[in-house]
Amino acid sequence: MGSSSNKRKKRPASNDRSGGTGLKPPTTFGDLLPTLSPALSRALSRASISIPTPCQVAAIPSLLAGKDALVRSGTGSGKTLAYLLPVVNSLLSASSAAGAGSEDERCIRAIVLVPTRELTVQVSAVLSSLLRYRPDGTDPMLLCLPQRVSSSSSGNNGNGKNGGGGHHDEEELRAEAALLRDRPAIVVSTPGRLAVHVRRGNVGLLEEEKNGKKKGAVMKGVSTSDVKWCIVDEADLVLSFGKLYGVLQSLQ
């Protein structure tokens, strides 16, 4: 009697770049972002970024559609650009269409929360490179909080109580409050630092919106009523600090 072989043939390695959708993936960011801003396209070209990663292919369409999304992917997979590109493209496209807005028209559109001061600097650096060619270059598009990464500033990477900074940290907070009053379009911050500014009334909902009253606003700071994007990077770490819920509740 003949014998039969039960050996399984190896499947060829998958080159699926569809993000698990099975659909033909976009080959350029112009395909992925239907109205790609010329300023953003130029910034991507300068950084030699031309082909979307699977993570970006999977996440960006949902974010562009205004949906909530949880993005889980490995280190180096392009997660940061996956959430920043829709934000930056939306802001640049709106800015280009409307022209350089007046000071009264400026407002905070996006808040990016990260667990450490060092990450605020890293994410802000990526944002700065993407905003390099914005048409209204004089407008305050980006604010990084805390402003200073130093061991003499408040402890716990900006997520704990002030410690050791004292006078210097108070000066830094006042300087940041002044920058918030310039109403940057994007704020990158640790939850702890943003919580400090919320408690001080430097940023948050207007009082009339909280209470449903038509009286004049009594808050001295900047409203977050126009925030369209709220991003939590390294969410597991941010949640471990225990401050995220209070911050988001204040911004709702």
* Farthest-apart Cα atoms in the chain, separation: 94
Q: Which of 48-52, 91-95, 107-111, 180-184 is predicted with the least confidence, judged by mean pLDDT?
A: 91-95
Q: Residue 220: pLDDT band by 50, 70, 90 thresholds? A: low
Residue 75 belongs to domain spanning: 18-98
Query: What are the strands of the beta sheet with 229-232, ordered from one edge?
Result: 142-145, 186-189, 110-113, 229-232
pLDDT at 226 over 90: no
pLDDT of residue 117: 93
Residues 111 and 233 in one domain: yes
b/e per residue 106-132 (b: at least 16 CB within 10 A):
bbbbbbbbbbbbebbebbbeebeebbe
The CATH number of residue 223's host domain is 3.40.50.300
- Whole-prediction pTM: 0.77
How large is the average pLDDT for residues 4-13? 46
Lowest mean pLDDT across 1-10, 170-179, 194-203: 1-10
- Spatial separation of the C-alpha atoms in residues 154 and 134, rounded to whole Å: 33
Is residue 6 included in any domain, yes or no? no
Q: Which of 82, 98, 114 is the last residue of a domain?
A: 98
How many domains does the chain contain in total? Answer: 2
Confidence category of residue 13, pLDDT binned at 50, 70, 90: very low
Beta strands 229-232 and 222-223: pairing type? Answer: unpaired
